[in-house]
Chain A
Amino acid sequence: DSGVTQTPKHLITATGQRVTLRCSPRSGDLSVYWYQQSLDQGLQFLIQYYNGEERAKGNILERFSAQQFPDLHSELNLSSLELGDSALYFCASTPPSGELFFGEGSRLTVL
């Protein structure tokens, strides 16, 4: 158990819909990373927050947005979903040492 909690574990939805993925980091970790993992793209960095502020951005689509709340949990919002958005979405938190602790992921299927 990494200490990082992601919900939901599985989500099936239709094209055009909007979903929210939630992540609770390990106790004491201020930094949260979001990644997308698909078979053909590997583990792609989306965005990182540190103590409520956006710190770094990857190839995150404009249809996607994220935020980190005062209690340090984070949410990734995916809108106008397309078939190609089907993937595993991982959240990771990190202490100052730099090790990433990953959650178990949220598997999104868009039909």
Chain B
Amino acid sequence: TQLLEQSPQFLSIQEGENLTVYCNSSSVFSSLQWYRQEPGEGPVLLVTVVTGGEVKKLKRLTFQFGDARKDSSLHITAAQPGDTGLYLCAVRETSYDKVIFGPGTSLSVIP
């Protein structure tokens, strides 16, 4: 059983459209991170959310941490081809020093 689930698994949209991807779990976390990975490269941190209900904005990207700190969403406004990549959520298991990643959402933005 995956600790983290992400949906959708794949998403292909036209440039200029809006989209939301989700990261869900049955566990509660003290914090959650979102990373973006481009082909042939390692993941790069986008944001860390810590407080239940927290909303963070990074240009056209809006991240929200669920009130119960079990889930998170990433909303992209007016997607651009440069947003193409694999979006991964990650959490640190509280009892251990593991950082566990979700399976990711592969986003393709078509010009």
A42 within 8 A of partner (CB): yes
Interchain CA distance A54-B98 in the complex, whole Å = 11
Q: Is A43's CB under 8 angstroms from B97's CB? A: no
Interchain CA distance A35-B102 in the complex, whole Å = 13
In the bound complex, residues from chain B placing their C-beta under 8 Å from that of A58 are: 98
Q: Is A98's CB under 8 angstroms from B48's CB? A: yes
Within 8 A of B (CB), among A78-109: 90, 92, 94, 98-105
Q: Smallest CB–CB gap between B63 and chain A, Å?
A: 15
Q: Is B99's CB under 8 angstroms from A45's CB? A: yes
Q: Smallest CB–CB gap between A109 and chain B, Å?
A: 14
Contact for A56 among B44, B88, B96, CB less than 8 A:
B96
Q: Smallest CB–CB gap between A39 and chain B, Å?
A: 11
B7 within 8 A of partner (CB): no
Known A-B contacts A43-B43, A99-B45; A48 and B88 likewise in contact (beta carbons under 8 Å): no
Q: Is A56's CB under 8 angstroms from B98's CB? A: yes
Known A-B contacts A43-B104, A55-B97; A92 and B42 likewise in contact (beta carbons under 8 Å): yes
B66 within 8 A of partner (CB): no
Instruction: Report the interface size class on chain B.
Output: 20 to 34
In the bound complex, residues from chain B placing their C-beta under 8 Å from that of A99 are: 33, 45, 48
Q: Smallest CB–CB gap between B24 and chain A, Å?
A: 15
Q: Is A43's CB under 8 angstroms from B92's CB? A: no
Interchain CA distance A108-B33 in the complex, whole Å = 27
Q: Is B104's CB under 8 angstroms from A42's CB? A: yes
Q: Is A42's CB under 8 angstroms from B96's CB? A: no
In the bound complex, residues from chain A placing their C-beta under 8 Å from that of B98 are: 45, 48, 56, 58
Q: Is A56's CB under 8 angstroms from B104's CB? A: no
Q: Is A104's CB under 8 angstroms from B99's CB? A: no
A50 within 8 A of partner (CB): yes
Q: Is B101's CB under 8 angstroms from A98's CB? A: no
Q: Is A105's CB under 8 angstroms from B42's CB? A: yes
> Which residues of A are interface residues toward B (Cβ below 8 A)?
2, 4, 31, 33, 35, 42-43, 45, 48, 50, 55-56, 58, 90, 92, 94, 98-105
